[in-house]
Amino acid sequence: MTPYDHSKIEKKWQKYWESKKIFRASDDIKKKKFYSLIEFPYPSGDGLHVGHIRSNTAMDIISHKRRMEGYNVLYPIGWDAFGLPTENYAIKTGIQPAVVTKKNTDTFRRQLKALGFSFDWSREINTTDPKYYKWTQWIFLQFLKKGLAYKKKMAINWCPKCLIGLANEEVVDGGCERCGTPVVQKEKEQWMLAITKYADRLDKDLDDVDFLEKIKIQQRNWIGKSEGAEIEFSLKGDSRKIKVFTTRPDTIFGVTYIALSADHELASLATKGLKAINPATKEEIPVMVTDYVLSDYGTGAVMAVPAHDERDADFAKKHNLPIKEIVLQDKKEMTEKFGKVVTKYKLRDWIFSRQRYWGEPIPVVHCENCGIVPVPEKDLPLKLPKVKNYKPTETGESPLAEISKWVNTKCPNCKGKARRETDTMPNWAGSSWYYLRYVDPKNKKAFASRVNLDHWTPVDWYNGGMEHTTLHLLYSRFWHKFLFDLGLVPTSEPYQKRTSHGLILAKGGAKMSKSVGNVVNPDSIVKAVGADALRVYEMFMGPFDQHIAWDENGIVGTRRFIEKVWKLREKVAAGDKVTIHKTIKKVSEDIENMKFNTAISSLMIAVNDLEKSTSVSRADYSTLLQLFAPFAPHVCEELWVNLGNKKSIFLSTWPSYDSSKITDSVVKVMVQVNGKVRASFEVSPETDEESLKKIALDMPEVKKWTEGKEIKKIISVKGRLVSIVI
Ligand code: ANZ
Ligand code: ZN
């Protein structure tokens, strides 16, 4: 048999799959569908990261398995290509972002194709393509129409280095997410999207989706739903009232002062010695101003209970305010008596403008007569004009503001003088609905046809990074719900199932970074040992949901394993007897649970066992190839065809197992009492000695002999025996 030549084999099958369109999703609505999704990559200048490969391979495996189970699978790919790094590169080099993006996506495409992923490349999308962002702009106009996009003058987080407004989510420990420069506050008119209008549904509907529990928890914490009461405190010598938000109306008898945020309308009065009345005790209590009360949460005012709240206690001690011990009251009763039931959220509306070039232009004009006027839908896409200088202006406006030919326009409404909006959308815009475009990527009349949406959505399984749980995932759920309310998509949730993967770290556990020089280049690995070896390594390196450090010795090991599978071909003899039922079961179940590493372990065990015998049945070998194909598609396709199969292995049927044949997964353990066998039980051969003892002692047949007796000695032998001496 010829030696295993990975580069020849891998290229050959990549070409074959593409020319035969094996992985194209068909829009045939009669077939049962499966929509699997990864987060489409940002095409950075660094090329594909090994971390991309981990997520892509995982969903590739699941997609292959579903195809072999008879599903019509959609596994698409595209580019989330607007964003700062490309723009910063353009500022530095003067090369147009569109040109840079083209170059970077070409690299990514080549790299992804070299890894043999089963994407449907005919549906490739790019968020910076005007044919795509036409619909991003169109959706924005729907938000505007419904009053959910609005302008607001507000203090925004401003990075004085990047000269850009940042969403709260983009501020990390008080610094800019990208450059670390301390963020300052700056007053600016901003476009906002009213995500808070959907806060309740974004929280509640998590009950109906199959997201990992930790993902649900993160989303819920971010939304921050809090049920409590609003209670009004009257003031001494002033007819106004202070409304507080509390989750502890049961502590009302312990309120010894009111705390206001610095922005509260009564803050200036409070500093002059304002007094409030506790409605429960009628006591006069002071009103204080403090920065531990946030201005943009609840009512910006707190009834302080130093005996039951730590922050209140700290403040009270510092300012010599009374701390009053009390008996807690009934919550419901106190709410009825003094307050009104309210629900508050931590979630804030989404700051949707950026003063940057490389984003979707916000399609509105400012007319001297009519105010804000949307660009007519028939005029979309509103294309990004070419500029010479990509740097934001000193005033913080986007570089678009300097192109007077573009900025000065006519009002679509009154034909009078108007100025175009020069803010662009944040890079979260295009990714908020991209999974909808995949189902009908070339549609010119709508973002996707209803027939295709009905067929394909929701996404059945979406895997992505934990770092996107609070932003991208929440934003896209919000857009989806909005489109659902407009009757434009069939379901209220976009993703039925969401999982996430751990990061791949550099050797030793540090983060991979270009500046440290510890980034692993997938190209050289593919060249040296092949895409299959790299894919298998990334699935084998550790539990999928955990962070894991790179180790090139591991790739040597997976390469060797592939060679073993290759060589096993020499032992294949006729025969249709399948013996590897246990492996089928284990691999099938492990894939569903994303336990890819243990799936590969069981394939390794099976190969070791088969190697020991003088010959391997053709059926066993075929089954082995089918189970391994999702992980190592090229080599398995080659070996499959070598066996004389005429059609691609991915058009074959996923192996099924006969559970009655899976016998060696349990062993019978005998229980002796004083040397006589009194009982037996079945367990996995791996069960440890201590557990065996415990099982034995709990059995009624054993208790019959040991009840009321002193146990002098108990020994157990793994997989065989428990012996009790009384
Ligand atoms: C009295 C009290 C007594 C409270 C007690 C807590 C414990 P969550 O669950 O996060 O919603 N609070 C209300 N508005 C605030 C603001 N703008 N800034 C800072 N704190 C604020 O927390 C609600 C509780 O946080 C409220 O209940 C209020 O203090 C405080 F033993 O009222 B509590
Ligand atoms: Zn006008």
Q: Mean pLDDT highest for which of 45-49, 487-491, 575-579?
A: 487-491
Residue with the smallest CA separation from ligand 1 atom 33 is 246
Give the mutation target among 203, 242, 247 for probing the ligand 1 site: most ligand atoms within 8 A of CB.
Answer: 247
Ligand 1 close to Cβ of residue 308 (< 6 A)? yes
Both structure tokens of 198: 């959907």
The Cα–Cα gap between 712 and 724 comes to: 8
39-53 average pLDDT score: 94
pLDDT of residue 663: 65
Number of residues that make up the chain: 726
- Model confidence at 126, pLDDT cuts 50, 70, 90, reads very high
Give the DSSP letter string of 210-255. EE-HHHHHHHHHHHT-EEEEEEEEEETTEEEEEEEEES-GGGGGG-
Q: What pLDDT digit, counting tens, does each position of 249-265 carry?
A: 999 999 999 999 999 99
Tracing tokens 């819920």 back to the chain, one arrives at: 220
Q: Cis peptide before 381, with omega less than 30 degrees from 0?
A: yes
Domain span(s) for CATH 3.90.740.10 in the chain: 226-344
CATH class of 667-725: alpha beta
> Rounded to the nearest whole angstrom, what is the distance from the C-alpha of residue 369 to the centroid of ligand 2?
5
228 forms beta bridges with: 342
> In this prediction, what percent of the chain has a pLDDT beyond 70?
99
Residue 655 pLDDT exceeds 90: yes
Residue 665 pLDDT exceeds 70: no
Neighbour count for residue 102 (Cβ, 10 Å): 14
Least confident of 136-140, 311-315, 703-707: 703-707
Residue 465 pLDDT exceeds 70: yes
Which CATH architecture best describes the domain 530-661?
Orthogonal Bundle (1.10)
Domain span(s) for CATH 1.10.730.10 in the chain: 530-661
Ligand 1 close to Cβ of residue 246 (< 6 A)? yes
Ligand 1 close to Cβ of residue 29 (< 6 A)? no
678-705 average pLDDT score: 87
Enter the DSSP assignment of 203. H
Give burial (CB, 10 Å; 0-12/13-18/19+) of 492.
Answer: middle
pLDDT of residue 659: 84
> Rounded to the nearest whole angstrom, what is the distance from the C-alpha of residue 416 to the centroid of ligand 2?
5
Assign a CATH topology to domain 24-128+428-505: Rossmann fold (3.40.50)
Residue with the smallest CA separation from ligand 1 atom 28 is 246
618-632 average pLDDT score: 97
The Cα–Cα gap between 433 and 476 comes to: 6
What is the chain's mean pLDDT, rounded? 94
> Rounded to the nearest whole angstrom, what is the distance from the C-alpha of residue 247 to the centroid of ligand 1?
6
The Cα–Cα gap between 288 and 425 comes to: 41
Residue 460 pLDDT exceeds 80: yes
Residue 686 pLDDT exceeds 80: no
pLDDT of residue 47: 93
Of all ligands present, the nearest one to the C-alpha of 411 is: 2
pLDDT of residue 707: 87
Ligand 1 close to Cβ of residue 426 (< 6 A)? no
The Cα–Cα gap between 308 and 328 comes to: 10
Of all ligands present, the nearest one to the C-alpha of 368 is: 2
Is 334 in a helix, a strand, or coil? helix
Give the mutation target among 232, 246, 305, 341 for probing the ligand 1 site: most ligand atoms within 8 A of CB.
Answer: 246
Residue with the smallest CA separation from ligand 1 atom 18 is 293
Domain span(s) for CATH 3.10.20.590 in the chain: 667-725
Angle between helices 97-114 and 84-93 (to 10 degrees): 120
Nearest C-alpha neighbor of 495 from the set 135, 211, 125: 211
pLDDT of residue 178: 79
| Angle, vertex CA 652, rays to CA 646 and CA 653, nearest 5 | 155
Ligand 1 close to Cβ of residue 251 (< 6 A)? yes
> Rounded to the nearest whole angstrom, what is the distance from the C-alpha of residue 470 to the centroid of ligand 2?
39
Tracing tokens 């050289």 back to the chain, one arrives at: 524
495 forms beta bridges with: 459
- Model confidence at 298, pLDDT cuts 50, 70, 90, reads very high
190-197 average pLDDT score: 96
Please give the C-alpha separations between residue 438 and each of 198, 459, 475, 499, 663, in angstroms, as whole numbers.
25, 11, 18, 20, 45
The Cα–Cα gap between 58 and 214 comes to: 19
318-333 average pLDDT score: 96
CATH class of 226-344: alpha beta
> Rounded to the nearest whole angstrom, what is the distance from the C-alpha of residue 239 to the centroid of ligand 1?
25
Closest ligand 1 atom, residue 247 Cα:
27
Ligand 1 close to Cβ of residue 198 (< 6 A)? no
532-554 average pLDDT score: 95
231 forms beta bridges with: 244, 339
Please give, one letter per residue, the 3-state secondary structure of 383-449.
Answer: CCCCCCCCCCCCCCCCHHHHCHHHHEEECCCCCCEEEECCCECCCCCHHHCHHHHCCCCCCCCCCCC
Residues 6 or more apart whose Cβ sits within 8 Å of residue 133: 127, 360, 381, 430
Ligand 1 close to Cβ of residue 300 (< 6 A)? yes
Q: What is the pTM of this model?
A: 0.88
Ligand 1 close to Cβ of residue 298 (< 6 A)? yes
Residue 147 pLDDT exceeds 90: yes
Residue 662 pLDDT exceeds 90: no
- Model confidence at 336, pLDDT cuts 50, 70, 90, reads very high
> Rounded to the nearest whole angstrom, what is the distance from the C-alpha of residue 366 to the centroid of ligand 2?
8
pLDDT of residue 118: 98
561-589 average pLDDT score: 94
Neighbour count for residue 192 (Cβ, 10 Å): 19
Higher pLDDT, 180 or 169: 180
614-623 average pLDDT score: 95
Chain Cα centroid distance, residue 271: 47
Of all ligands present, the nearest one to the C-alpha of 366 is: 2
Tracing tokens 């890819």 back to the chain, one arrives at: 596
Tracing tokens 């157990």 back to the chain, one arrives at: 716
